[in-house]
Amino acid sequence: MTEPEKPMAGGSTGAGAAPGGGRWKTWALVASLGLNLFVAAAVLGAGLRHHREGRDVGFGPYTEALSREDRAALRDAFIAAAPDIRDRRRAMAEDMGQLAAALRAQPWNPAVAEAVLSRQGERAEERFVLGRRLFLERLGRMTPEARAALADRIERAMVRGRENG
């Protein structure tokens, strides 16, 4: 007859525990997955906004505070600098399908989800770096008065956000 498993610290038994692992690894994985899901959601949100408004660079309140002319110029600059947007969207769709399959897989393999989300995060970072560069270039072309007006609109958006949040 075998002895029943003795609970370990935290109330769990040793059964099913990762070799050499601990709860910190589980929490680190959960935190990493959560962060990657956040990045994926941000990318998806930017994609949905793009679909709704055209090719928006996606700096949220900053680009929303730009004048219509500045937004259009920034969008045009982004299109010129990143003509492979359709390929990127296709890759994002493939990744989303792979993540959905990974979420349904038994047994759960977090490494597969991590790989998919890492690819998405890398693409998001590339897009962000390009967008930041183009945004700064656009700001540099503005007159001091136009930059001050943009600063006013950004501050108004912040106040509205605090009032609504």
pLDDT digits (tens, 9 = 90+) for 69-110: 999 999 899 889 888 878 888 998 999 999 999 999 999 999
The per-residue DSSP string of the chain comes to -PPPPPP-TTS--STTPPTT--HHHHHHHHHHHHHHHHHHHHHHHHHHHHHHHSS----THHHHHS-HHHHHHHHHHHHHH-TTHHHHHHHHHHHHHHHHHHHH-SS--HHHHHHHHHHHHHHHHHHHHHHHHHHHHHHHHS-HHHHHHHHHHHHHHHHHHHHH-
Whether pTM exceeds 0.95: no
- Percent over 70 (pLDDT), the chain: 67
Q: Summarize pLDDT for 122-150 with one digit per residue, the tens.
A: 988 988 999 999 999 999 999 999 999 99
